[in-house]
Structure 1
Amino acid sequence: MNALPWVALYALLIMAWGWAWQRRHRNIGIVDVLWAKGVAASALILALLGDGAALPRVALAVLGGLWGGRLALHLWSRVRREAEDGRYRYLRDHWQSHQGKIFGFFIAQALLIVLFSLPFVAVASNDSPAAAGWVAAAAAVWLLSVGGEALADHQLAGFRADPANKGRTCRTGLWRYSRHPNYFFEWLHWFTYVLLAVGSPLGWLAWTGPVLMYLFLRYLSGIPFTEKQALRSRGEDYRDYQRSTPMFFPWFPRSSKEHLP
């Protein structure tokens, strides 16, 4: 826990920088890049300063750092090439470009970096001598989840790159089985740290990762905002997709005439 102030300081600094960047470029989307980068950095900071055994701490640094680094680079590739995401354009219009409100939004994201670093605290304090087996299991979950998220991102990017698909909904690859496969695999990824924290005196903290990520994705900042924007931009095509394709957990699609709960 003693390293959390360093995580908080880093998060506040990068988000303050991000707010200044969006003032120049009028693109709030940089906040997602910095969130991923900040959480990855928190894994490295806590692994370095933790007092647990070396193996889980090294695994935390490698797996947490690579996950966040990949996600940050993927998001940055979109932010630097594309116009401001519709979700953030809506927020900017709703707030009438009020920089005080936008700054508050960035600082709130800094606090979320600290919140999502709590599972890393549990891993960094794990001094269990039986950690090797759990590290192997964690690495398997990490490979499945990060690989699935990267594949979903790649499939969507390829679909969006084709001008013929403008205004249409991606229904290919993993997107045939879930409306948000990238979110599903992002959520699954957080079980990596539950496994790395087995035997830790603070092991219960690791469960905050998958629990909070599910709540945020399903009910707060993920799916609700994304689907509202999709309905605004794609209308009936996306409504048909909603009727036929599961929202979060991947499963076989139904006929759009059937009702999906």
Structure 2
Amino acid sequence: MIICLVFLFILVHMSIIWFWYRMSKNPSVVDVGWASGLTLNGLIYLSQHSLSPRTAIYGSALLIWGLRLGGYLWWTRISHKKIDRRYTILSQASHIKTPLYFFINFHLQGLFIFITHVTHINL
């Protein structure tokens, strides 16, 4: 059940990030989405365990890491409307329309988040 929850969450999360990209015209938002996706999925995983000092420490460390990374990426890229050059290069090299290309790109990154987390789930 947790696998389905994590998969569904990532699908919705990365779709929201893609809509954010469409509104802002800045594909760099996916970097913030990557940090928040990893963090939130880690918290979903931790929520499946009973509360203990260990899970509290892991959860706190995960939140600190995610907020620090996501905040840094937000501040250095998104708030200053900076578009990361690598995304410009990727979209120019693509043979499909840019919005579709980034939809696929964002969801592939979501798949990598899923793979990262599914390896830690006890089946």
- State the TM-score, normalized to the length of structure 1: 0.42
Say which of 63, 74, 97 aligns to 1:76: 74
Provide the C-alpha distance between the structure 1 equivalents of 2:80 and 2:14, rounded to a whole number of angstroms.
Answer: 21
Q: Deviations over 1:25-52 (max 9, x none)?
A: 221111110110011111211111136x
Does the Cα contact within 8 Å between 2:91 and 2:101 map onto a contact in 1?
no
SS class of match (2:81): coil
- State the TM-score, normalized to the length of structure 2: 0.84
Report what 1:62 is aligned to.
Answer: 60
Q: What runs of 5+ residues in structure 2 fail to find an aligned partner?
A: none
User: How far 1:118 moved relative to its partner?
Assistant: 4.2
- The total of aligned residue pairs comes to 121
Provide the C-alpha distance between the structure 1 equivalents of 2:107 and 2:3, rounded to a whole number of angstroms.
Answer: 16
Does the Cα contact within 8 Å between 1:43 and 1:60 map onto a contact in 2?
no
User: How far 1:55 moved relative to its partner?
Assistant: 2.9
Determine which structure has greater relative contact order: mean sequence separation of CA pairs < 8 Å that are 6+ residues apart, divided by chain length: 2
Does the Cα contact within 8 Å between 2:26 and 2:81 map onto a contact in 1?
no
Report what 1:106 is aligned to.
Answer: 106
Alignment of 1:242-253 (within 5 A): none
User: How far 1:5 moved relative to its partner?
Assistant: 2.1
Does the Cα contact within 8 Å between 2:27 and 2:83 map onto a contact in 1?
yes
Provide the C-alpha distance between the structure 2 equivalents of 1:80 and 1:48, rounded to a whole number of angstroms.
Answer: 32
RMSD between aligned alpha carbons?
A: 2.2
Q: Deviations over 1:203-225 (max 9, x none)?
A: xxxxxxxxxxxxxxxxxxxxxxx
Query: Higher helix fraction: Structure 1 or Structure 2?
Result: 2
Report what 2:94 is aligned to.
Answer: 95
Identical residues among aligned pairs (%): 27
Provide the C-alpha distance between the structure 1 equivalents of 2:48 and 2:13, rounded to a whole number of angstroms.
Answer: 20
